Structure 1
Amino acid sequence: MPIGLNAALAVAKEQLGVRLDPHLGNNFFVEVDGLLVGSFSTVRGLQSDVKLTEHDEGGVNGYRHQFPGQVSYPRLVLARGVTELDTMYSWYARVCRGEFERRDVTVMLLDRRRVPVMWWNVKAALPVKWVGPDFDASRSTQVAVESVELVHRGIVKPLLSRGASAAHALGEGINTVVESQ
């Protein structure tokens, strides 16, 4: 029976005596069609939900059958401080003019050295809402923030991403063992 990637990683971690600490959620990049579109302060909506259909069976009173159905995805919300780079707003403005151009978006989680360790591909995204900054003269240190909301056709965490995270974890473990000797 072949050993799975997660099981292999767990065995290697145990043998090397390495801690696998979680990555920080403030260290990420966003790409649109393979091009870095600037830095964002938040990304929300990397989630999915399987709708369930329930079915009662006559004579079975202990539970209801639950069958998986359609998968739904909330909007992906990207927020950042306003800069002169207006790639996302320009894309949104084209959609407002009727130029529906769906694009693939990738959200990459980085390690402390700013190397991508895993990523999620958002398929066929389309901006449907843009929110500009709020202005308030009484808050002289507040950053002007804009956000864009994207509808899309699904989120996948590619096999290559999962392999990269496992390789990164093993590499970190080997580096820890070498440094401690």
Structure 2
Amino acid sequence: MADDGSAQGAIWPLTRFYFSVNLGSQDSTASFQEVTGLDTETQIVEYRHGDSKVFSTIKMPGITKVGNVTLKKGIFVKDNNFWKWYDAIKMNTIKRETVVIKLLDESGSPTMTWTLTNAWPTKITGTDLKSEANEVAMETLELAHEGLTIANG
């Protein structure tokens, strides 16, 4: 009998291949092969006042920075939604969207959710072309955003 871990009450880590991406009003839920860049970082502010008896600085949290999120997907016939969204960029008039990325469990229920606030396409990369290739044509969408929130469950 195979041990599935249920006898010991084991909890297994989640796999990263079952996820969904919702691009707000742009495309509802879209299928992607890869999502990268879900990171956030807080800058360090170092400070030392002049009459401190300790001859070193203290470190305090400063401004939070978020990186761009990159989405990769296959190219489909008559699917120009990314290009339409990108073409809408005109002197700070781009439509910003709330993008929700969900890591799903085996039943399809979200277990971890990343929400990008005020996201907009900053870069689109079309596929490379090669006559001897045997891969799917892929395009890449890079999103700038103004905040990343993470929720479990």
TM-score (normalizing by structure 2): 0.83
- Map of 2:86 onto structure 1: 92
Displacement after TM superposition at 1:152 (Å): 0.7
- Map of 2:4 onto structure 1: none
Higher mean C-alpha displacement, 109-118 vs 70-79? 109-118
**1:156 is the counterpart of 2:149:** yes
**1:31 is the counterpart of 2:25:** no
- Map of 1:40 onto structure 2: 32
Tell me the percent identity: 25
Conserved? CA contact 2:23–2:30, under 8 Å: no
Q: Which has the higher helix share?
A: 1
Give unmatched runs, 5+ long, in structure 1: 1-15, 166-181
Q: Distance in 1 between matches of 2:107 and 2:80?
A: 27
- Map of 2:137 onto structure 1: 144
Aligned AA for 1:55? Y
Paired positions, count: 143
Conserved? CA contact 1:29–1:36, under 8 Å: no
Conserved? CA contact 2:32–2:73, under 8 Å: yes
Conserved? CA contact 1:37–1:87, under 8 Å: no
Cα displacement string for residues 4-41 of structure 1 (whole angstroms, at most 9, x for unaligned residues): xxxxxxxxxxxx94222111111111001165342111
Aligned AA for 2:38? L
Q: Which has the higher strand share?
A: 2
Q: Distance in 1 between matches of 2:47 and 2:125?
A: 42
Match of 1:71 among 56, 64, 74: 64
Aligned AA for 1:24? T
Q: Distance in 2 between matches of 1:42 and 1:96?
A: 28
Displacement after TM superposition at 1:99 (Å): 4.3
Give unmatched runs, 5+ long, in structure 2: 1-6
CA RMSD in angstroms comes to 2.1
